[in-house]
Structure 1
Amino acid sequence: MKLTTFVDIAGRISQDAREADRITAAAICLPGGALDHIRKQVPKELPKWRNATDEDVRLVVDVVLREALGVGVYSVEKTAPAWDTFWAEAFHMRAETRGKISFIKAPYQIKCLMFGRSTTLACAMAIKSGNVVRSAARQRGLSTAEILVLDDEIDGVDNVAVFKSIWERMNGQQLLTESLGIRRNFVDVRLMTEQQDPLLLLADYVAGIGHASASRADVLVASRVGTECVRRQQERLIRVPQYHFIRKPFALKFSEILAMG
């Protein structure tokens, strides 16, 4: 089955945890053959989450509930001391290489982690909810052809190349999923903006909703979106079987995240 997953991140990827206590990624898994139909449901002037209104949020959630095969939201809390240790290790590694290996920067590694966990969760929920079905020709198995569309937040030609290679290598590292009769095939990874593909706004809004609902900090202080709106729309999302929200304290070491690549 052809799937296209759109991913975005909410929260500031920086060591400072004041007024920014977590980072949240959302992945929206959509049927690849229906993208034009779904794009027509997104208003041309729909703003990004940071400029949205309550009505904009309700409209986006309507589209997600109607069209998404799977939705994965993965949120990590900037938990001390693990968070500070991670950044210290990243700074040390950066100094040792004298800045020559750009893709080992801490923000880059965190983006890779968030993108990877949320997209895997979205695909898993699409399968678990029954929205991705086994074809008649493959009753004993399921095979996907997946395109990933990510908000263009990976800077630099070398970083982009390394990031894409990570996903390409995943095509050959699927012992667990294949043992369950599932074969995921990543056919393309695209870094785009909302102007290039407005369906990224679906992930932008769902990440914003999840981030605001889980944060202790008042992340809506400068927003036109109200806390009651976030509560109502989050409740709508968690009621459906294709949605899952995982919250974790940050507990990984920099060396462990680097090894994922």
Structure 2
Amino acid sequence: MSYFSEATSAETVNDRIGVATDPRLRQVMTSLVNHLHAFIKDVTLTEAEWETAISFLTRTGQICTDTRQEFILLSDALGVSMLVDAVNNRVPAGATDSTVFGPFHVDGAPELPLGTCISLDGKGEICLYEGRVLDLNGAPIANALVDVWSDNADGFYDVQQPDLQPKWNNRGVFRTGPDGAYAFRGIKPVSYPIPDDGPVGQMLGALGRHPWRPAHMHFRVTAPGHARLITHIFVSGDAYLTSDAVFGVKASLIADFRPVQSPTEQWHAAFNFVLRPTCTTA
């Protein structure tokens, strides 16, 4: 044990971790202290800047509610969510890439017959989404659950406008058939800004960054014996594909939305999802 000094600050703090501490917790906290103290020394953090940081984190916590998680937004905007996703979802060749979960998923969306339209507010241009869920060998996965959600044509999720949008608007769960096929109708999604009226929005403004996400449909695909897939498909040609505020775009997830002439939809998007078995790592 030693007294605190600038030169040995991290070592002094880490030396006081108890001997019975969980090994993984010890590893994580030791690394965190090392990097945090190195950062402070690297930038010669001022007391005013430290106070600003404390205020920022305090306000971030204060704005959180049951339907708004500003800390997730902060993680997203700093690229941390995508990095955590990347290191935990290193997929083998051929498997579909994952991306961020996002803060707007809601458990309990109704399971619907294949082909059902999930747009309940009558807004937007209808798109037919269809494809197959496959394994790494290209075989169909029957009875996979395809959980989908998107914003509405005004760029808001139903949980952001509970008094304006019908419950479960642009949400649904579908079960693949024997051929692994899924199909449903929703809107062609639109670009939207992440909530920027709080600390994270102020941070983006100070950094000269915009808050916009490119248009996308969320998918969570699950099947027994296979790793859960959380991903989006993005609308090709969207203006924000290369500057997504949360860094969620991967080239493999950009889909062609093709115009069609049909009594029931104006667009068509085809996309297959390839799941890896739970025992497979990259």
TM-score, normalisation: structure 1? 0.30
Between Structure 1 and Structure 2, whose CA radius of gyration is higher?
Answer: 2
